[in-house]
């Protein structure tokens, strides 16, 4: 079974639901409508007993450039009911295994959503970045909690304060990804692993994941809510206005007065 919504493709087969970012001409940047589709897909998969595993994937050259800036400025996430927060809660609390296949740049939420995946496979062209400070903003998706836990404090501080990319091999070294493969093989590897999982008893998968995440679920949701409040406030402050104006004007931002 397949569902086509242009920018998000959803395909279900043999217990595996594959969700594909399909906006390559815009570097798979994510709009409000796409967040709503992603939230709907995860919520439906959670309730569908025939779904055992979800795979998130992009293109061989780009996973996601993060938020679509133009759409983001027109429809900023003003409340916790905004589609982006719906999606983040849906993936953070999803009870079944979630796999990701990541090739090329994964920017902002393109990286932070991976903290909520259970297995991540990366092409050797993958580049992960969380440039929130560069936009006058703060981390989201509980990345301020996950990044120090997974990367260690100093690497997390470097990634979040400088916002510079770290590559696939560095991600493998710290355990952020499970395996690095040629980009043309990445989606196939993720699908093969998903089918292995789909052949296992669903009740055992769900209970094992619940136990793995039990100690952090409440903390993750609490941190996501705290980040969301700060993120919304900072969106209205001078630094973010300057960053987004500079982006749209294609110039370097000037934060000297921020």
**Chain segment 220-230, per-residue pLDDT in tens:** 999 999 999 99
Task: Give the pLDDT mean for 100-114.
Answer: 98
The answer to whether residues 97 and 209 touch, using CB atoms and an 8 Å cutoff, is yes
- Is the pLDDT assigned to residue 88 strictly greater than 90? yes
Band (pLDDT 50/70/90 cuts) for residue 78 is confident
Q: What is the pLDDT of residues 125-141, one digit of tens each?
A: 999 999 999 999 999 99
The pLDDT value recorded for residue 77 is: 86
> What's residue 5's pLDDT?
60
- Burial group, residue 203, by CB count within 10 angstroms (0-12, 13-18, 19+): exposed
- Check residue 103 and give its pLDDT: 98
> Which has more confidence, 78 or 205?
205
- Mean pLDDT computed over every residue of the chain: 95
The domain ranges of the chain are: 2-183+202-210
- The reported pLDDT for the residue numbered 128 is 98
CATH of domain 2-183+202-210: 3.90.226.10
Query: Residue 1 pLDDT more than 80?
Result: no
Residue with tokens 């070294």: 173
**More reliable by pLDDT, 5 or 12:** 12
Query: How far is residue 161's CA from residue 143's CA, in Å, rounded to a whole number?
Result: 12
Predicted local confidence at residue 241, as pLDDT: 93
Q: Decide: residue 36, CB within 10 A, 0-12 exposed, 13-18 middle, 19+ buried.
A: middle
pLDDT tens per residue, range 135-167: 999 999 999 999 999 999 999 999 999 999 999
């Amino acid at each position: 079974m397949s569902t086509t919504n242009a920018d998000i493709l959803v395909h279900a087969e043999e217990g595996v639901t594959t969700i594909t970012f399909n906006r390559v001409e815009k570097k798979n940047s994510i709009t409000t409508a796409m967040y709503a589709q992603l939230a709907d897909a995860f919520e439906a998969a959670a309730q569908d007993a025939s779904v055992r595993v979800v795979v998130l994937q992009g293109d061989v050259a780009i996973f996601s450039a993060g938020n679509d800036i133009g759409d983001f400025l027109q429809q900023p996430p003003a409340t916790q009911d905004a589609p982006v927060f719906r999606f983040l809660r849906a993936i953070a609390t999803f009870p079944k295994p979630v796999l990701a296949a990541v090739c090329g740049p994964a920017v902002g939420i393109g990286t932070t959503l991976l903290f909520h995946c259970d297995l991540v496979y990366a092409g050797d062209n993958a580049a992960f970045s969380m440039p929130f400070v560069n936009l006058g903003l703060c981390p989201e998706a509980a990345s301020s909690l996950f990044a120090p836990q997974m990367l260690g404090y100093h690497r997390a501080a470097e990634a979040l304060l400088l916002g510079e990319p770290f590559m696939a091999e560095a991600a493998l070294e710290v355990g952020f990804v499970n395996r690095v493969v040629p980009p043309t093989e990445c989606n196939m590897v993720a699908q093969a692993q998903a089918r292995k999982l789909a052949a296992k008893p669903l009740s055992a998968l769900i209970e094992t994941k619940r136990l793995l995440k039990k100690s952090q679920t409440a903390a993750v949701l609490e941190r996501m809510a705290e980040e969301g409040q700060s993120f919304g406030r900072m969106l209205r402050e001078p630094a973010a206005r300057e960053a987004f104006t500079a982006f749209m004007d294609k110039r370097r931002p000037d934060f000297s007065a921020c």
